Amino acid sequence: MRFNAKDLALLARQPSGCFDKEGKLKICRVVGDEKLIEPRERWCRLKGNLLFLMKNKSSEASEVVILERCWVVEFRSKTDVSIVLKFQSGEPDLYVEAASKPDCESWAVALGEANSEGLQNKIQQLRRLIMEIKEERSSDEARQFLPSSQIDSLGEPQFTSIQRIANEPKLEFSLACKDLVAATRDRKLNTFIQVSVVHPAEHILTRYSSTEIVEGTRDPLFLTGVTFPPEYPIYEETKIKLTVYDVKDKSQDTVRTSVLPDHKEPRADVGRSFLGCTTFRVGDLVKSKEQQLTLTLRTSDGGKTVGTIEVNLVKMGELEDGETDHITTDGQDQKCALVRECTTAEGISGKDSLPSLNAVLKNPICKLYRFPTSDNKWMRIREQMAETTLSFHVPKELINLHIKEDMRRNQELKDLGELAPHWDNMRKSVIAHCDQMLSMYQDTLAELGKHTGSSFKSSCSKGEKTLEFIPINLHLQRMHVHSPRLKDALYDVITVGAPAAHFQGFKNGGLRKLLSKFEAERRNTGYQCIYYSPENTAKAKEVLSNINHLQPLISSLADLLLNSASQHSPDSLKNSLKMLSEKTELFVHAFKDQLVRSALLALYTARPGCVLKKPAGPRNSAEEGGDLQHQDHPSQIKRQDSIPHHSEYDEEEWDRVWANVGKSLNCVIAMVDRLLEKDSVSNIKEGENDPAAADCNVLHTGGDWYEQLYPLVITLKDCMGEVVTRAKQSMAFVLLQELACGLPQCLMLTLRRDIVFSQALAGLVCGFVIKLHTGLRDQGFLQQLHSVGLLVQYEGLLSTYSEEAGMLEDMAVGISDLQKVMFKVIEAKSEDFLPIITGRREHYIIEVQLPAKMFELLPQEIKEGKLLRMYPVLFNVGINEQQTLAERFGDTTLQENINQENLELLKEYYKLFTEKMPPDCLPHFQEQNDLKGLLENLHQNIQAKKRKNVEIMWLAATICRKLNGVRFTCCKSAKDRTSMSVTLEQCSILRDEHQLHKDFFIRALDCMRSRQTQGALNESDDPETGCLTDNKPTSRHFYPVALLLVSSHLLVVWLILSLALLLAKYQ
């Protein structure tokens, strides 16, 4: 065979990246068992089937070995670092000695695959695959030669769908290998299986998922299975490729295969080596009688058998035959403390509930596990993580409401009428600032309307201004457990980044500190305005809201009354009058407040030309009303704290205007009563005139009902209009004082609070919708929902150091504001099942829509529109290295105060629960873990002030689950700390409630935490793929060990350097 020496020399001098493998080896020739010479160290480079031998890396190639008709064998000396290349041509064998055993194994694999015979086998196998693909495509290629009429009759290619239950995964199977063959005899395999899918329509190989790594066995049984979600396009014609790899160094194992091209296998020198692969059709597995396939694993050239692999079809509702091997623990029957059925409610199929769930959840990522129980049986766990469309829907609805509310407020300020120059300038300044904020809200809403793509915000985007209203990494984490002796159970946790204003930053703290500081400044600074307490400003907003809601409602009811009168319908007239009376009474009651009276006086004194006169005599009631607002700070004499008195102001005028509404209503009621009396007793003489009707001075003739009621209804509307005009102006004046006293800080704090509340509300709505769907069959839960309310427990993992302290302050206020949110369940009238948000700041109503069949299962109270209360509680325990600094050198008072305050709220909810719910509704906790004991234990742990006391988290979560609550887990970005907490909680539940074998707790935890089992996720699937660098390790620890082992002296040095950097940053 002739070779071009120049070309070979040029090839040997190529850069390192051009070779399949290179490195130092000791080389010599061998005849039989005798070495011709002592092995000499050479720099070896492998390119295709050419092995170049060089004295050093920079020298010319001294010899070229052609790997043709040769094979690799172990040297007879049984050394671990040497192999022999034997040639069929009869030339002397080549002895190869490496520096280490792993290096020797990798060279053995590389040289074996580089053999020309192996390459030819690979080519033949690829040719066979090409021919199979061509045969499958032949029908498509023939279509182009058919007449158009025949093409139309053929239609699109049809694939056989897999029969399944609605809203259940299309396909699930488990994997196990037997009799795997290692590259060397003494090698202990650490194997995992990579699953790839060949779509029948595209014929493209796509990596889908991987199992966990099973160490030290040639018969691995994998606990991680494979599951395909309902939306995944998989058919009976779909082919699945299973590739088995041997991981040489587990510590270096990362998801490197996910970044390789689909057609290229990972190289052996990256920590793993290829063992074998096989392929099967989905239809073969589904149609097999035993629902099991036993496949032969072959090398890449298709010639050598390296073991077998078993594929078992999994159905969550069926038990797996056989017992777990190598487990000898005696199982005993144990009673589970908390088990919830995960099946859909009676009378509702999965198909009926699917549209409403799909409106909220999307892009699910599923994982399947099988774990042994203490009685040597298998339990199956399906884990699902899903995005939610509410991440963007709720903030957009909320911003739209903010815009409408602020526009209405600005108009109310403009409608105050003519004011004195001082007050008029103040109003212009307030309106100018409000217009700027309004423009900002409108711009944000417009930008959110342009958003496309993923339905969640990753942590990389938490500092983006256009996305500051969107929650971070909002996902549903669901665990479905199927045990052999217990009912199916479903456990949901909502994971989300801490609701906080990341774009605005935390240099001056969070909302908890900023609001307290702002209120203190308002009280103590000499502003040129009237001070109203936060309670009074909140009352003013409530009065305005009631006016805007009740006035059009009463007006429409009055028109309905006239319509009933024109139709001469007694029953309709009675019903219309009843509704009109109820709403008018609410309207009148809304103004029974001293605030309205005092605000009218203040507005009167703010008119131009008004002469102020300080009274010398005793104060009257109006003056006392003004001073009542400042009784907490009587020392503020120089400020215009109290509302001035004007001698010409008629205080009784408001009483007369307000009372006229009631008198007008009485006239309407009396007239209706007389008309109905005349209609029912027409043959009886007219008795004495009704005193109330006499006051109305109306002649009651036998004329038309409409004509007699019309003037009274008009009078009622006129009286209401007068009341509304005065009350609106007075309350708008109160809001003017609130805004003027704190410009621009007041508006900036409102913006920050809106941002935090928007993030918190999106998570709450998601949690409520999911909980409502899963609890439709539980009548006890539905009764608890409308009688007591829903407990919402937030688990915070933020530290109290640096910026995270500000995040915790924001989060505490945002979660506390959720107490003002009410839910209402309505029947959906269309195919749009997204929730509807109404209301204003500090009072929102979320209308959750259900399909008709699901809505009929609700209790009558909920169907009639009863508002459902929320009881949010937050318990925070910092667990990272920053919390170590805070506990040693900082302050943890914030965390302690938050936990103590929310403990009282939790006790209040429990008290309300025990008062309103029957005792037989709690069958789960009649044993030792009763709620009262858990609450007492939680109280003791909070009082103990123990460092990083994670027992608080576990107790709070247990209480929440036992009280049918919604669970949230939050950290800074809902990534590392959140995932560690959720997986630890899931495994603990399996151990405590579902008898997970004690020897498999750590392995189950590793399976759930393994990022490798997520498969080849792209950036839209994995919330944080785009944020990770290639060098970032995938292993994540619940407690960062590196810092906790550092001595206290180094911690002090580190703290001093950190403070110096912070000072330099903010100077």
User: What is the set of active-site residues?
Assistant: 971
Cα–Cα dist 112/749, whole Å: 69
| Number of CB atoms found within 10 A of residue 490's CB | 15
Residue 717, both tokens: 């509307």
8 A C-beta contact, residue 370 and residue 380: yes
159 touches 237 (CB < 8 A): yes
Strand stretches in 221-291, DSSP E: 224-228, 239-247, 272-281
Least Cα distance to 52 among 74, 19, 85, 99 occurs for 19
Contact 733, 603 (CB under 8 A): yes
Q: 């904020």: which residue's tokens?
A: 437
Distance of CA 593 to the CA centre of its chain: 43
State the Cα–Cα distance between residues 747 and 433, nearest whole angstrom.
8
**Antiparallel, parallel or unpaired: β 378-388 and 61-66:** unpaired
Give the C-alpha distances (Å, rounded to integers) separating 277 from 194, 301, 756. 9, 10, 51
Contact 808, 876 (CB under 8 A): yes
Take residue 855 and report the two structure tokens written for it: 């809505």
Give, to the nearest 10 degrees, the angle between helix 705-740 and helix 570-589: 20
The dihedral built from the CA positions of residue 593, 597, 602 and 607, taken in this order, carries a sign that is: positive
How is residue 749 annotated by DSSP?
H
AA identity, residue 698: V
The answer to whether 151 touches 143, Cβ cutoff 8 Å, is: yes
**Cross-strand bridge partners of residue 167:** none
Is the distance from CB of 678 to CB of 703 less than 8 angstroms? Answer: no
CA angle 45, 51, 54 (to 5 degrees): 55
CA-CA distance, 1019 to 1001, in Å (whole number)?
Answer: 31
Q: Are strands 292-298 and 40-47 parallel, antiparallel or unpaired?
A: unpaired
Task: Give the whole-angstrom CA distance, residue 268 versus residue 258.
Answer: 16
How far is 110 from 72, CA to CA, in rounded Å?
10
Q: Phi and psi dihedrals of 779, rounded to 5?
A: -65, -30
Q: Residue 295: phi, psi to the nearest 5?
A: -115, 150
- The greatest distance separating any two alpha carbons of the chain, rounded to the nearest whole angstrom, comes to 141
The β-bridge relationship of strands 190-198 and 239-247 is antiparallel
Dihedral sign, Cα of residue 214, residue 218, residue 220, residue 226: positive
Residue 373 DSSP symbol: B
Q: Residue 387: which residues within 8 A CB-CB, separation 6 or more?
A: 361, 362, 363, 454, 455, 456, 474, 475
Query: Mapped to the 3 state alphabet, what secondary structure does 7-21 carry?
Result: HHHHHHCCCHHHCCE
How far apart are alpha carbons 549 and 547 in whole angstroms? 5
Taken in order 263, 268, 272, 276, is the CA torsion positive or negative?
Answer: positive
Length of the chain: 1067
Q: How far is CA 987 from CA 334, 492, 792, 880, 1006, in A?
A: 18, 14, 22, 21, 10
Residue 271, sorted as left (phi over 0), alpha (psi -120 to 50) or beta, turns out to be left
Helix, strand, coil shares, percent, the chain, to 5: 45, 20, 35
